[in-house]
Amino acid sequence: MKTVPVWLIDAFSDRNFAGNPAAVCALEQWLPDEQLLQMAQQHNQSETAFFIPAKGGFELRWFTTRHEVNLCGHATLATAHVIFNHLDYPDARIHFDTLSGRLTVSREGDWLTLNFPAGPTVEQTPPAEMLAALGITQYVHARKGRAWLIELENRAQVEAITPNINAMIPVEHKVTITAKGTGDYDFVSRFFSPGEAVWEDPVTGSAHTMLIPYWSEKLGKTQMLARQVSARGGDVRGELQGNRVLMSGTAVTWMQGKILLRQ
């Protein structure tokens, strides 16, 4: 019998029952892809992160309950939290080799900063079926990148959305809705991805790779504080640096244990 250390981490939060939970598994070497997917399905989280030691850092992969994905922010933050806080990693920066290239996470106190490629978006007309499923009749702007980005008039409209997920077409209708923020927040957002078995994602790093450049241009600033206004909710400190996006957040451990793999 083989054992695999596992943690359940609430990412982009400073307390449990908030932010975005991710399972994190520390492997010595890669297991078959089918087994990794089965493990992710057993965990039944929006993402399970798997990592192994590598030259100069770690290799990192992310799985939903349906398949492997090429980028995930909150599970990367969760993995860095594990390596820094549970594996006593001595450096202030971790390098991850991923399907999206080399990603870096740095530590400053309790805050961890992801360094990801910025996500470009272009103006497009959104599908009428998606707008209808979201219950959106009017919007300010619509753009398309890794996912749809729909700007609404204000935060209240974003919070009031109650989508008909079953009416959304998987993959095509992956969408973040956003609006200018209130108080200390520069902007707010929510994210829906029925194609990834994620009806509403609590806090979405990959969406902020699009949101931060978008709002940077609109607001004329490079440093911003964002709030994802899902039921669990979470804060993201964002910064645009050329073609890179910095996303900072905190994370807390909910559970740790061992997986018993029977050969």
For residue 150, count other CB atoms closer than 10 A to its CB: 24
List C-alpha distances in Å: 255 to 82, 229, 250. 11, 25, 16
Which residue in the list 47, 151, 196, 200 is annotated as catalytic?
A: 47
- Cβ burial of 239 (10 Å; 0-12, 13-18, 19+) is middle
Strand 93-98 to 57-63 pairing: parallel
Strand 48-54 to 234-241 pairing: unpaired
Backbone CA torsion sign across 76, 81, 84, 86? negative
Confirm whether 47 is a catalytic residue: yes
Residues annotated as part of the active site: 47
